[in-house]
Amino acid sequence: MARAATTSDVFNAIAERQRRQILVLLRAGERPVAELAHELGMTQPGASKHLRVLREVGLLKERKAGKQRLYRLDARGLRPVHEWTGGFEQLWNERFDRLDAYVQDLKHARREE
């Protein structure tokens, strides 16, 4: 066996810088492919591929408008990621404060020897 699929998994979909940039751009509203490609300095096929991945994990919706296809953000899929990381919030606040305190204690103890 080899690797986990990138599609059908939001965590993998947003692991790519350019895809994250696409999502950020689309926060301002729907846009056509060529515009996204241009603003992010990538080729049109490149943009289309990333858009496909994002669409397949449900983060994007597509809408036809004449020759263009307008992509729109559906941010709901990001919520699980937000919540998962949120499950560590206590730790990145509290626990390392405790560690700092512990380190401080060590320094004091050493100084007193």
Taking the least distance from each CB to a second copy, the nearer of 29 and 67 is 29
> Of 99, 107, 7, whose CA–CA distance to 60 is shortest?
7
Strand partners, 62: 71
Stretch that binds DNA, among 20-28, 60-68, 76-84, 86-94 (CB under 7 A): 60-68
Eight-class DSSP state of 43: -
CB 74 to a second copy: min, Å: 7
| Rounded distance between C-alpha atoms, residue 73 and residue 24, angstroms | 9
Among 8, 68, 85, 104, interactor with a second copy by CB under 8 A: 85
| Rounded distance between C-alpha atoms, residue 84 and residue 104, angstroms | 31
Q: Does 74 bind a second copy (CB under 8 A)?
A: yes
Stretch that binds DNA, among 22-30, 46-54, 79-87, 94-102 (CB under 7 A): 46-54
